[in-house]
Structure 1
Amino acid sequence: MPAGRTEVRGTVLERRTAPARVVPPPAAEAPLWWVWLAAWPVTAVFMLSNAATPLYVLWQRDIGFSKGALTVVFAFYIVGLLGSLLVSGVLSDRLGRKPVLLPALGLALAACVVFATASSVAALIVARLLTGVAVGAAVSAGMAAVTDVAGERRRRLGSLLASCAMVLGAGLGPFLSGLLSETLPAPTVTVFLVEMALLASALLVVVRMPVTRPATAGQGSWVRLPGVPRESRAQLIMGIAVFGPGITGTSFVLSLGPSLLSGLLGTTSRVVAGSMALVMFLAATGVQFAVRALRRRTILLAGAASTAAATAALVYAVHASSVVALLASAVLAGAGQGMGQLGGLSLLSATVAPNRLAEANSALNMGGYLLAGSLPVAAGFLSDAAGLTTGATVFAGVLAALAIAGGLVVATLGRRVAETS
């Protein structure tokens, strides 16, 4: 009988109507302040990642090791990070963000203890290794958690805040470390006590964070090279092509920047070294807000150009003994990383489903950190053998070629990749 028709049955009037279609309510959207707060654990972990940078001159004085050994210590951070990325992205997508972030923050706290009591290169290597594992979880599960809390409607904001949290933490860490180590007693202990307090606050945020466990279980091995669905591979390649050279440039400044400052200024001031890192990463943060409305392909091309310009400024700085050029190189390197990172993350968050997003973030960062872990180490050993000027010049030439190649990759693939707004 047609819906809405009245039928008489005895003395009862019955009105038959078609059952109304039940529309599920939209998922509850977290308050905007939670989106910002969800980025804090990423910031706190990345503050630890570079907190040791201004302190290496103290450890070199007390323990005694070369520039090559210093870059090896830095490289073990990359080893821990890459090992973490093999697991943390897949675990996060299958078990949820919290089961990955909570142990990672525990490892970060353990790293602080090892740093604070370090009396050998081996101890520094262990501390950097633990830090790398924690950072690997932060760039996969932590950054994906920010996007999850932001929700579908604010997906682009989530990518922006996750990316900015990473670079802001990377800059605040060495600045705070340099400042505290110059003004308070027992610098290599005090810095990490403060960092432990910050990490403890991040732990509380993760416990209360409004994220849920995945609704569906993933497939495949639990430990594997992170990847993306076939339809998102072009976006991943574009992101790595720019983000890789960008983060390699900032890694060089972090590892050998204090040595360059010492040669150019004749100073070992930890505040100066930390300030240069802060300026570099403030540039990486600010540029992301400045370009966030541009097309992702345009952002990536600008990032590649900025990294290439940073290498030119670096060569001029070491040959002309110009502190201004060195700072310009750091700012341009920061901008290059920031735009490469934002462009890559935005492309992935726009095309990869939430249940693969942490793994996709792992893939992007693994591609970038593989380069960032190898090229600065080679430059460090070359600097020991042939001098800092030669090492920096050769590094700059190789990085410039990679940045230009990255721009060409984006220009070529970008014509075939339809961007989402």
Structure 2
Amino acid sequence: MSGTTLLAPLYGLYQKQLGFSDLMITVIFAVYAAGVIAALLLFGRLSDGLGRRPVLLAGLVLAALSAVCFLLEGGLPALFTGRVLSGLSAGLFTGTATVAVVELAPEPRRNAAMLLATVANMGGLGSGPLLAGILAQYAPQPLRLVFFVNLALVAVAVVGVLLIPETVQAGQTVPLRPRRLRVPPAIRSTFVPAAAAGFAGFAMLGLFTSVAPSFLHQVEGVDNLAASGAVVCAVFAASTAGQLLMPAFGVHRALIWGCAVLAAGMAAIIASLATSVLALLVLGAVVSGAGQGLSFRAGVTVVGEQSPPDQRAEVTSALFVVLYVAISIPVVGVGALAVVAGLRSAGLVFSACVALLAGATALRLLLRPAGEAETGAG
């Protein structure tokens, strides 16, 4: 997963080398989400028929091909191709690797295995920008060395996948057609606030993994790529902590508190962009990351609990498509607005919109908790 976020602190270097705008940065980032969504819809059930290991190996091959695209330095076409391949690999990993980890664990340790998968996922996403930032700042060949390191990590992962036992009896035929995206009317009062909370949180993640390094450079005056990578890493680390803390809050309280904390974090980011105070940006990154983690895990949990068992995968897929739309499309708007009004103004507008959405969702959940309509009707 770390390979999917390696570009976060490097966009500025590509921008100088190729001469594209802040809008193009967000478009390059957004095509990654298109790859994830395509993989989730087309290949989400593939490992149930082929087995976990073949799908994981296919994801690793796509990850390696993505790194090769970036090593070729073929301009924008290579960047776009690399990002699409990276998104496809992440889409294959997201469900398959999590299920494989849980299936490989002994029954008494299944919950611990799920937490391990969560930490591995978010930890990988967070370590990518940190690794890329450190190597780009302090090692030679800033746009090449990190992808050689990525290929080495992929090779280690391939060996690991080849060594683990298969947990699925292969042979079942799984049709390669898009999953349906239908939410039953009975759970829409649960799905809508969970999706709104997730949309706000993933839009924030999209901001930090695409244009936050540009904010640090143009607004905060920070040119150190390692620092840029560390700020992005802090968001994912805080998200991991928020997800791990969710059971202590309970699902419904975690959904409300997650939205409220996310709104507070975005307020700190707004203050940072308005005053050019770096400490406020770092504070906002940590606070909003924690809120995103709380609300994300709570939203996925409550939607899974209240979905009909025979439609649970379908509804969960619909939720994840909403989340990956959120991580991509809104930040393209930031890039477009930055061309017209400047990066600072674009960041202020975007952060205010995310804060308003998170705050409104928290208020709605306070007035009517998720799933209340079904309980009353029941």
1:75 aligns with 2:36: no
**Aligned CA-pair RMSD:** 2.9
1:365 aligns with 2:320: yes
Per-residue CA distance 1:234-286 (angstroms, 9 max, x = gap): 66555433222112102101211111111233232110100101111111122
One-letter identity of the residue aligned with 1:268:
D
Aligned partner of 2:40 among 85, 89, 110: 85
Hey, what's the Cα distance between the residues in 2 that align with 1:239 and 1:99? 33
Hey, what's the Cα distance between the residues in 2 that align with 1:358 and 1:199? 29
> Using a 3 Å threshold, how does the CA distance of structure 1 residues 154 and 239 change in structure 2: closer, same or farther?
farther
One-letter identity of the residue aligned with 2:337:
L
1:401 aligns with 2:366: no
In the alignment, what sits opposite 1:193? Answer: 148
Question: What displacement does 1:330 show?
Answer: 1.0
> Using a 3 Å threshold, how does the CA distance of structure 1 residues 332 and 214 change in structure 2: closer, same or farther?
farther
Question: What displacement does 1:68 show?
Answer: 0.3
Question: What displacement does 1:291 show?
Answer: 3.4
Hey, what's the Cα distance between the residues in 1 that align with 2:250 and 2:239? 18
One-letter identity of the residue aligned with 1:58:
L
One-letter identity of the residue aligned with 2:274:
H
Contact 2:220/2:277 (8 A) holds in 1: no
In the alignment, what sits opposite 1:147? Answer: 102
SS in 2 for 1:267: coil
1:303 aligns with 2:258: yes
Structure 1, 58-67 or 238-247: larger mean CA deviation: 238-247
> Using a 3 Å threshold, how does the CA distance of structure 1 residues 229 and 158 change in structure 2: closer, same or farther?
farther
> Using a 3 Å threshold, how does the CA distance of structure 1 residues 221 and 112 change in structure 2: closer, same or farther?
closer
Contact 1:89/1:226 (8 A) holds in 2: no
One-letter identity of the residue aligned with 1:413:
A
Unaligned runs of 5+ in 2: none
Per-residue CA distance 1:146-191 (angstroms, 9 max, x = gap): 3333466544434333322222111100001111112221121110
Contact 2:269/2:284 (8 A) holds in 1: yes
In the alignment, what sits opposite 1:273? Answer: 228
In the alignment, what sits opposite 2:219? Answer: 264
Hey, what's the Cα distance between the residues in 2 that align with 1:385 and 1:116? 32
Aligned partner of 2:68 among 110, 113, 123: 113
Structure with bigger helix share is 2
In the alignment, what sits opposite 2:289? Answer: 334
Contact 1:57/1:268 (8 A) holds in 2: no
One-letter identity of the residue aligned with 2:256:
L
One-letter identity of the residue aligned with 2:251:
R
Aligned residues: 373
Question: What displacement does 1:214 show?
Answer: 5.9
Contact 2:179/2:314 (8 A) holds in 1: no
> Using a 3 Å threshold, how does the CA distance of structure 1 residues 206 and 352 change in structure 2: closer, same or farther?
farther
One-letter identity of the residue aligned with 2:233:
L
Aligned partner of 1:317 among 267, 272, 284: 272
Q: What does residue range 162-181 of structure 1 map to in structure 2 within 5 Å?
A: 162-181=117-136
Hey, what's the Cα distance between the residues in 1 that align with 2:110 and 2:301? 9
1:240 aligns with 2:195: yes
Aligned partner of 1:104 among 49, 59, 68: 59
Structure 1, 151-160 or 193-202: larger mean CA deviation: 151-160
SS in 1 for 2:370: helix
Per-residue CA distance 1:31-66 (angstroms, 9 max, x = gap): xxxxxxxxxxxxxxx211111111111111111110
Contact 1:280/1:333 (8 A) holds in 2: yes
In the alignment, what sits opposite 2:342? Answer: 387
SS in 2 for 1:251: helix
Unaligned runs of 5+ in 1: 1-45
Hey, what's the Cα distance between the residues in 2 that align with 1:294 and 1:362? 25
In the alignment, what sits opposite 1:412? Answer: 369
SS in 2 for 1:292: helix
Hey, what's the Cα distance between the residues in 2 that align with 1:417 and 1:354? 16
Structure 1, 301-310 or 236-245: larger mean CA deviation: 236-245
Structure 1, 115-124 or 130-139: larger mean CA deviation: 115-124
In the alignment, what sits opposite 2:209? Answer: 254
Aligned partner of 2:4 among 49, 53, 59: 49
Contact 1:93/1:355 (8 A) holds in 2: no
One-letter identity of the residue aligned with 2:356:
A
Q: Give the greater-gyration-radius structure (CA).
A: 1
> Using a 3 Å threshold, how does the CA distance of structure 1 residues 119 and 219 change in structure 2: closer, same or farther?
closer
